[in-house]
Amino acid sequence: MSLTGISANRLELLQIAEAVAREKSIDKEIVIEAIEEAIQKGARSRYGAEHDIRVKIDPKTGETTLKRVITVIEDDATFGETEEGLPADPPPGVLRLSEAKRSYKDAAVGSTYEEILPPFEFGRVQTQMARQVVTGKVREAERER
What CATH number corresponds to the domain at position 44?
A: 3.30.1480.10
Among 50, 64, 38, which Cα is nearest to 134's? 38
pLDDT at 11: 78
Q: Which domain holds residue 75?
A: 10-144
Please give the angle made by the CA atoms of 55, 68 and 50, to the nearest 5 degrees: 110
**What is the DSSP secondary-structure string of 93-122?**
TEEEHHHHHHH-TT--TT-EEEEEPPP-B-
Q: Residue 135 above 60 pLDDT?
A: yes
Taking each helix axis as running N to C, give the angle between helix 28-47 and helix 10-24, from 0 to 180 degrees, rounded to the nearest 10. Answer: 130
Residue 2 within any structural domain of the chain: no
Confidence of residue 69 (pLDDT cuts 50, 70, 90): very high
Q: Which residue has the higher pLDDT, 131 or 96?
A: 96
Ranking 27-41, 67-81, 129-143 by mean pLDDT, the lowest is 129-143
Tell me whether residue 59 is in a domain: yes
The string of pLDDT tens digits covering residues 5-61 is: 444 467 788 888 899 899 989 999 999 999 899 889 888 888 898 999 999 999 988
Instruction: Evaluate whether residue 126 is within a structural domain.
Output: yes
Look at residue 5 and tell me if it is in a domain: no
* pLDDT for residue 9: 67
Within a domain: 32: yes
- The verdict on residue 1 lying in a domain is no
Is residue 11 within 8 A of residue 63, CB to CB? The reply is: no
Q: What is the average pLDDT across 89-117? A: 93
Residue 69 is classified by DSSP as: E
pTM above 0.95, yes or no: no
Rounded to the nearest integer, the mean pLDDT of the chain is 86
Residue 77 falls inside a structural domain:
yes
